[in-house]
C-alpha cells in the first residue's frame, strides 16, 4: 500500500524539525526521518491503530509515536497522512 503525505503533514515535519533544531540540529534531522519512517510503516496493516476520538465517522486513525500523534486515513489507493502534531497540542 502506498503512503501519501498531505501538504499539512509536510508542513508538520518542517515545524517539528525547526522546533527541535533550536536545541539540537542533528537530532532534528534524525527525528523527522524517524517520524517519516513511522508514517511509511503504516503501509503494512494500516488498520491496526485506533480511530481518532471524535473523528470516527471520517475514518481518521491515530498512531502514537513518542510524544507525537500521526493522524491518517486509509483508502483503496493508500494511506494518507493528514497531520503530525505533539500530543500536548491535542489535549
Segment-wise mean pLDDT, segments of 10 residues, the chain, 91 residues: 96 96 95 97 95 96 96 95 87 43
pLDDT at 90: 55
This model's pTM is above 0.85 = yes
Residues paired with 68 in a beta bridge: 65, 86
Would strands 3-5 and 78-86 be described as parallel, antiparallel, or unpaired? Answer: parallel
- Domains of the chain, each with CATH number or no CATH: 3-85 (3.30.2310.20)
pLDDT at 88: 83
Cell of 26: 542533528
pLDDT at 91: 43
Tell me if residue 46 falls in helix, strand or coil. Answer: helix
Amino acid at each position: 500500500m502506498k503512503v501519501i503525505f498531505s501538504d499539512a503533514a509536510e508542513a508538520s515535519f518542517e515545524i517539528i524539525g525547526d522546533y527541535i533544531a533550536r536545541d539540537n540540529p542533528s537530532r532534528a534531522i534524525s527525528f523527522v526521518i524517524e517520524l517519516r519512517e513511522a508514517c511509511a510503516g503504516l503501509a503494512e496493516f494500516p488498520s491496526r491503530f485506533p480511530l481518532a476520538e471524535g473523528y470516527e465517522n471520517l475514518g481518521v486513525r491515530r498512531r502514537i509515536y513518542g510524544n507525537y500523534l500521526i493522524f491518517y486515513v486509509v483508502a483503496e489507493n493508500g494511506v494518507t497522512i493528514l497531520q503530525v502534531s505533539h500530543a500536548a497540542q491535542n489535549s
